[in-house]
Structure 1
Amino acid sequence: MASMAVQLLGFFLGLLGFSGTVIATVLPHWRSTAYIGSNIIIATAYMKGLWMECVWHSTGIYQCEIYRSLLALPRDLQAARALMVLSCVTSIMAFIVSVMGMKCTRFARGSLIKSPLVLSGGICFLCAGILCLVTVSWTTNDVILDFYDPFLPSGMKYEIGLAVYLGYASACLSLTGGMVLCWSSSGERSQSSHHRQRNQPSSPPPAFDNIYPSAPRYRPHEALKGNHAPSLCSLSSSGYRLNNYV
């Protein structure tokens, strides 16, 4: 029961990480306008994401424009797109494999394949978290380098957006869920191996013939050899004649 609870905990942590990764991938709040220097106009705010650029007006109106050309995008943005999509796909694979391997599901119940499936799901969650973490770390580094670049105009500088922070949280959740699933799988395998060792005899039982040797062949006692009715021939041969008594 404890192992099942640990598996459910790891699964829900990975599921939360997957949901946050999808939301962070879709949101345009990866880079937001930095109000520094001469850029003091706060009536509008510009945001850049992986798929679109948005403008927020002080009146509450959002205007977004999707990137129309993939090849015209910067290479770092293309790489960020690919890594986040791979992270989402890996999380989906981890979700499916973990559901099949958990103890609370009916798939292959009582089979030895349950533990490897949970381990595979945990590894997939770990890979998804690493991909997401690499992407948001890369974006954070680019934003910080551009922000402190003295040759870049103030109007072209951006700050770290909310989607990046959400990506960090999602990566941590996915990594934690993957580690919990891997740990539950290793504990379950050790318990099953210990149970098999306890049930298995330490040495094969001795042969039946060694425990119960075969009975010796029957040999009549010497005193019982002549214990039978004597015949006429035997009486005559013993020294007594029958005509002596007739």
Structure 2
Amino acid sequence: MASMALQLLGFFLGLLGFAGTVVATLLPHWRITAFVSSNIITATATMKGLWMECVWRSTGIYQCELYRSQLALPPDLQAARALMVLSCATSVLSSLVAVVGMKCTRFAQGSVIKSTLVLSGGVGFLCAGLLCLVTVSWTTNDVVVDFYDPFFPSWTRYEIGLAVYLGYASACLSLMGGLVLCWSSREVRRQNPVHRRLSPQSSPPLLPVFNNTYPSAPLYERPQALKDNHAPSLFSLSSSGYRLNNYV
């Protein structure tokens, strides 16, 4: 029961991480215009994401435009796109594998492959979390380096957007879900007698063990006394079934 609860916890953590990764991938709030000038009143604010660029005007108009050319994008943005899409795809595949291998499902019930599938799902969530974490860390580094670059004009500097923070949270959830799933598969291997019997540490017996039970030997009974309560003598003569002591 404890291993099933761990599997459900790890699975839901991985699902939350996957949902956050999808939202962070689609949101345009990866880079937001930094207002570092003395003028507080601003007319526009620019937000850049992986797929689109949005402009917010002081009049309340919010306008977004998709990137029209894939090859015209900078290499870091193309790499971020690929990594985030790969992270989402890995999370989907890990979710399917983990569902099949969980103890609450009926697929391959009582089989050795159940814990292996859960372990594979956990490893997949770990890979998805690492891919998302690498992407948001890379973006954070680029934003910080450009912000403190003295050669950059003040109106072209950007700050870290909400999508980056959401990506950090999603990566942490995916990593925690993967760790919990891997730990639950380890607990199942310890509790399952099939794994203990097939483990290389415990070698099988060389001779077969038989559990057949045999009936116990009958109780010893004393021989009945002979005729006239006389024990037979060694010197008694017998011929054709007659004994001499019967006539003496």
Instruction: Give the structure-1-normalised TM-score.
Output: 0.80
Q: Output the CA distance in 2 between the equivalents of 1:64 and 1:73.
A: 17
What is the CA distance between 1:67 and its match in structure 2?
0.3
Cα distance change of structure 1 residues 206 and 149 upon mapping to structure 2, 3 Å threshold: closer
Aligned partner of 1:148 in structure 2 is 148
Task: Name the SS of the counterpart of 2:192 in structure 1.
Answer: helix
What is the CA distance between 1:155 and its match in structure 2?
1.0
Aligned partner of 1:20 in structure 2 is 20
Contact kept? 1:29, 1:47, Cα under 8 Å: yes
Cα distance change of structure 1 residues 24 and 40 upon mapping to structure 2, 3 Å threshold: same
What is the CA distance between 1:58 and its match in structure 2?
2.8
Q: Deviations over 1:172-196 (max 9, x none)?
A: 0000000000000011112224884
Task: Name the SS of the counterpart of 2:36 in structure 1.
Answer: coil
Aligned partner of 1:229 in structure 2 is 240
Contact kept? 1:98, 1:118, Cα under 8 Å: yes
Residues 1:111 and 2:122 aligned together = no
Q: Output the CA distance in 1 between the equivalents of 2:159 and 2:39.
A: 13
What is the CA distance between 1:129 and its match in structure 2?
0.1
Letter in 2 for 1:139: T
Q: Output the CA distance in 1 between the equivalents of 2:150 and 2:37.
A: 12
Aligned partner of 1:92 in structure 2 is 92
Contact kept? 1:39, 1:155, Cα under 8 Å: no
Q: Deviations over 1:64-98 (max 9, x none)?
A: 01001010000000000000000000000011000
Cα distance change of structure 1 residues 151 and 196 upon mapping to structure 2, 3 Å threshold: closer
Greater mean alpha carbon deviation, residues 184-193 or residues 5-14: 184-193
What is the CA distance between 1:4 and its match in structure 2?
0.5
Letter in 2 for 1:130: L
Cα distance change of structure 1 residues 135 and 39 upon mapping to structure 2, 3 Å threshold: farther
Residues 1:6 and 2:11 aligned together = no
Aligned partner of 2:134 in structure 1 is 134
Cα distance change of structure 1 residues 207 and 109 upon mapping to structure 2, 3 Å threshold: closer
Greater mean alpha carbon deviation, residues 141-150 or residues 41-50: 41-50
Letter in 2 for 1:62: Y
Aligned partner of 1:122 in structure 2 is 122
Contact kept? 2:31, 2:49, Cα under 8 Å: yes
Aligned 1:170-181 pairs, distance under 5 A: 170-181=170-181
Residues 1:165 and 2:165 aligned together = yes
What is the CA distance between 1:110 and its match in structure 2?
1.6
Aligned partner of 1:57 in structure 2 is 57
Contact kept? 1:38, 1:154, Cα under 8 Å: no
Contact kept? 1:39, 1:154, Cα under 8 Å: no
Instruction: Give the structure-2-normalised TM-score.
Output: 0.79
- The percent of aligned pairs where both chains have the same amino acid is 72
Letter in 2 for 1:144: V
Aligned partner of 1:217 in structure 2 is none
Q: Output the CA distance in 2 between the equivalents of 1:183 and 1:110.
A: 19
Q: Output the CA distance in 2 between the equivalents of 1:124 and 1:157.
A: 36
Q: Output the CA distance in 2 between the equivalents of 1:180 and 1:70.
A: 38
What is the CA distance between 1:112 and its match in structure 2?
1.2
List alignment gaps of at least 5 residues for structure 2. Answer: 198-202, 216-233, 242-248
Cα distance change of structure 1 residues 74 and 41 upon mapping to structure 2, 3 Å threshold: farther
Task: Name the SS of the counterpart of 1:100 in structure 2.
Answer: helix
Q: Output the CA distance in 1 between the equivalents of 2:29 and 2:142.
A: 15
How much is the aligned-residue C-alpha RMSD, in angstroms?
Answer: 2.6
List alignment gaps of at least 5 residues for structure 1. Answer: 213-222, 231-246
Q: Output the CA distance in 1 between the equivalents of 2:30 and 2:167.
A: 10
Contact kept? 2:112, 2:194, Cα under 8 Å: no
What is the CA distance between 1:108 and its match in structure 2?
1.3
Q: Deviations over 1:103-161 (max 9, x none)?
A: 11111112111000000000000000000000000000000000000001111100000
Structure richer in helix, relative to its length? 1
